[in-house]
Amino acid sequence: MIKYPYSRPDVSDADIQAVVSSLKGQFLTQGPALEAFETALCECLGGQQAVVCNSGTAALHLIYMALGLGPQAGLVTSPLTFVATANAARMCGAPVSFSDTDPTTGLMTPDDLQRAIESADFPVRAASIIHLGGRVADLPALQAVAEAHNILLVEDACHAPGAAYNSTAGRHRIGDCSHSIAAAFSFHAIKHVTMGEGGAVLTNDPELAVRMRLLRNHGLERNADVWTQAPEPNAPWYYEMQEIGWNYRADELACSLGLSQLKRLPEGLQIRRDLVRRYNDLLADIPGLSTPFIPNDPESHAWHLYAVSIDFSGLKRRRGDVMRALADVGIGTQVHYIPVSSQPYFQSLGGQVLPGVQRYYDGTLSLPLYPQLTEQDQEFIADKVRQCLAP
């Protein structure tokens, strides 16, 4: 039995009461909790517009559709991500090309983006930047590359709510979209903020937000100013579907949970930073294991994941054997991620050689990281990792 999963939800009594209150209220969907959560996200993360939906995948799909991705308007992204980042573009009919990454951080660099855009065999409309594990990518430099090629920068910020960074213009929050057109967030069960399942888009473009809200609700247009076939002016029952949309709505229970969880985001981020520092101290002298480096600006990493790098080949260990040995003593681990470019679906569309990606993937292993971990838990986990990798 896994006592220490690689991550777990952190649900408080206040969270439970928030959900119960919604259950007792008038609305179970499309009610005041949705509006309150969107307002709170803007206040917390900095964007001018928030569009809450029912998953991070839906958030990405809404962005890509609203930006016009399609057969002649493709996407460049890193393959070190969950499949949704690329799949959502394919759902638009858009071609996808993958960039290489830094082999240590797994992040796309400006040079990686430059090469990926230049090597793509289709018109590139947008680039999706992954803040892998919560570490903030170099957004100002990446935006400069994107602007030079007249493409739009999207942030897959699913791992990085609450993170921040500097530019020559000052201090920025992930979600204020200072260097992107939009940022997608996930509120899955094991994210910093959970709705159970949920997501959101932050943007400073009001027209983009209007379009995403339209697509979120089946494409149903209730604005009388743009109706084309209304039987009478301002018909109170009437709506038009002028293009296809989806049911990406988030219910009131999920929004109430998300709103309650958001209040504890700063506290949770600090706990994660403390846990990471303690892990790095405990694991520092294990041969063949490299701990993730802590940035000088502590807020530039949200620490969704604690991913170490292990020289499995040099230690003559197989990753699967190490994971099974740790599972036998109750420690869950995971790999983030199998490169999306190596998945059979994308291989069938044309494989790519990405040496930085491969080097990162070959060594990465995520250890348990969540706010409920104690010092004793971390000492136990570190001791078992040491034993598993010992000669």
CATH number for 192: 3.40.640.10
Range of the domain at 26: 13-262
Is residue 275 domain-shared with residue 252, that is, in the same domain? no
CATH of the domain at 320: 3.90.1150.10
- Give 81-98 as a DSSP string: S-THHHHHHHTTT--EEE
* pLDDT, tens digit, 9 for 90 and up, residues 202-230: 999 999 999 999 999 999 999 999 999 99
* pLDDT, tens digit, 9 for 90 and up, residues 62-90: 999 999 999 999 999 999 999 999 999 99
Is residue 112 domain-shared with residue 253, that is, in the same domain? yes
Q: Is residue 76 part of a domain?
A: yes
Buried b (16+ CB within 10 A) or exposed e, 232-242: eeeeeeebbee
Is residue 248 domain-shared with residue 271, that is, in the same domain? no
| Distance between CA atoms of residues 158 and 382, nearest Å | 27
* Phi, psi (rounded to 5 degrees) for 331: -110, 115
| Distance between CA atoms of residues 118 and 113, nearest Å | 9
Is residue 180 domain-shared with residue 232, that is, in the same domain? yes
- Return the C-alpha torsion angle 202, 204, 205, 208, nearest 10: 0
Closest CA to 275 of 372, 175, 139, 388: 372
Is residue 353 domain-shared with residue 206, that is, in the same domain? no
* pLDDT, tens digit, 9 for 90 and up, residues 157-176: 999 999 999 999 999 999 99
Share of the chain above pLDDT 70, in %: 100
CA distances from 151 to 24, 139, 145 (A): 47, 14, 9
Is residue 238 domain-shared with residue 288, that is, in the same domain? no
* pLDDT, tens digit, 9 for 90 and up, residues 90-104: 999 999 999 999 999
Which tokens sit at 301? Answer: 């990493």
Total domains present in the chain: 2
Reduced to 3 states, what is the DSSP secondary structure of residue 381?
Answer: helix
Is residue 277 domain-shared with residue 238, that is, in the same domain? no
Is residue 153 domain-shared with residue 286, that is, in the same domain? no
Is residue 38 domain-shared with residue 97, that is, in the same domain? yes
Burial class (CB in 10 A: 0-12, 13-18, 19+), 37: buried
Residue 353 pLDDT greater than 90, yes or no:
no
This prediction's pTM: 0.97
How much is the pLDDT for 352?
85
| Distance between CA atoms of residues 195 and 184, nearest Å | 15
> At which of 235, 262, 289 does a domain end?
262
Is residue 330 domain-shared with residue 201, that is, in the same domain? no
